[in-house]
Amino acid sequence: MFGKLILIELYKIFRKWRTYIGFIAIGVLLPIILTALYYEGSNYINFSMRALKGSFLVVGNLLNGYLVGYLILQALIIHIPFLIVLVGGDLMAGEATAGTYRMLAIRPVSRFKILTAKYLSGIMYIGILLLFLAFMSIGVGSIIFGTGELLVYSNKIYIFPASDVIWRFILSYIFAMLSMSTVFGLSFLFSSIVENAIGPIVATMALIIIFIILSALPIESLAWIKPYLFTNHMNGWMTFFADPVDWSEITESALVLGAHSVGLYLVSLILFLKKDILS
């Protein structure tokens, strides 16, 4: 029964054209990035390795599908929230806009199940979008560029063996899923409060932008607030591409994001259970 509810919600999600904006954006952007990397990716490698090439003879294919996957994840993960809130902001408020809230609530299904099914189907949408991103970047990138060692240019220059890369990507995407679930949870909460989808979409994005600005400002008096901003923990996926992996930092970020996700879901649930549906 509950599974069917989720399927219905997924059907409703994928019936709306705005759901496909994320897929279209990734589907259009990635071939452009892949083409650019195909022709100019070696410049990036040369730039990253310039410190070493004077003293070392270097061989090997560092421009490969793994590097492409890493660069794309790094570049796009900041923008994926924009695509996710398009769906998250519409899930509840869309019912109000369409005038189907009351009809939904009078069915012999509890409000708890209705909201949870909507929430979980939204989470599944995020999973599908991220899987599509992974396929288009790592999958297509590996077909075009092949596989090999992964060059990561962060606090050090890391070169990971090909056999040491896949698990890092898997955990990074799981972490990215957690980050995006928090963003989704926020838009879902706003969506359960109002009756128009535009408000939750704009409000979520505005809040994320404010948090990101607060995180980035090098002002000492604001430093105390940074650990409490969930946006400060969203880049935790990058920690998997270090050696050794800082598991305590990842655990802390995962707990903050997880607590936000659960908290936002619970607040949405309480609001929906107490909501006086008039539309």
Sign of the CA dihedral running 30, 34, 35, 36: positive
CA gap 226, 217 in Å, rounded: 10
Among 106, 156, 248, 276, binds other proteins (CB under 8 A): 156
Query: Which of 19-27, 115-123, 148-156, 188-196 is the region at the interface with other proteins (rule: CB under 8 A)?
Result: 148-156
Find how far residue 50's CA is from the centre of its chain: 32
Is the Cβ–Cβ distance between 208 and 183 less than 8 Å?
yes
Quote the tokens at residue 223. 């430093």
Query: Which of 53-61, 105-113, 203-211, 257-265 is the region at the interface with other proteins (rule: CB under 8 A)?
Result: 53-61
Q: Which of residues 157-186 bind other proteins (CB under 8 A)?
A: 157-162, 164
CA gap 67, 70 in Å, rounded: 5
140 is an interface residue for other proteins by CB under 8 A? no
Phi, psi for 160 (deg, rounded to 5)? -90, 135
Identity of the amino acid at 191? S
Among 42, 43, 46, 61, binds other proteins (CB under 8 A): 61
CA gap 198, 18 in Å, rounded: 12
Among 243, 249, 251, 279, binds other proteins (CB under 8 A): 243
Of 139, 227, 249, 123, nearest to 179 (Cα)?
123
149 is an interface residue for other proteins by CB under 8 A? yes
Output 36 or 51, the one with its CB closest to other proteins: 51
Output 23 or 153, the one with its CB closest to other proteins: 153
248 is an interface residue for other proteins by CB under 8 A? no
249 is an interface residue for other proteins by CB under 8 A? no
Sign of the CA dihedral running 25, 31, 34, 36: negative
218 is an interface residue for other proteins by CB under 8 A? no
Query: Which of 18-26, 50-58, 97-105, 258-266 is the region at the interface with other proteins (rule: CB under 8 A)?
Result: 50-58
Query: Which of 69-77, 91-99, 155-163, 246-254 is the region at the interface with other proteins (rule: CB under 8 A)?
Result: 155-163
Quote the tokens at residue 160. 């990971």
CA gap 200, 178 in Å, rounded: 20
Among 32, 59, 106, 278, binds other proteins (CB under 8 A): 59
CA gap 173, 40 in Å, rounded: 26
Query: Which of 136-144, 152-160, 186-194, 219-227 is the region at the interface with other proteins (rule: CB under 8 A)?
Result: 152-160
44 is an interface residue for other proteins by CB under 8 A? no
Query: Which of 25-33, 156-164, 211-219, 262-270 is the region at the interface with other proteins (rule: CB under 8 A)?
Result: 156-164
CA gap 237, 15 in Å, rounded: 31
CA gap 45, 36 in Å, rounded: 14
155 is an interface residue for other proteins by CB under 8 A? yes
Task: State the number of binding residues for other proteins (CB under 8 A).
Answer: 23
- Residues within the interface to other proteins (CB under 8 A): 51-52, 54-62, 148-149, 155-162, 164, 243
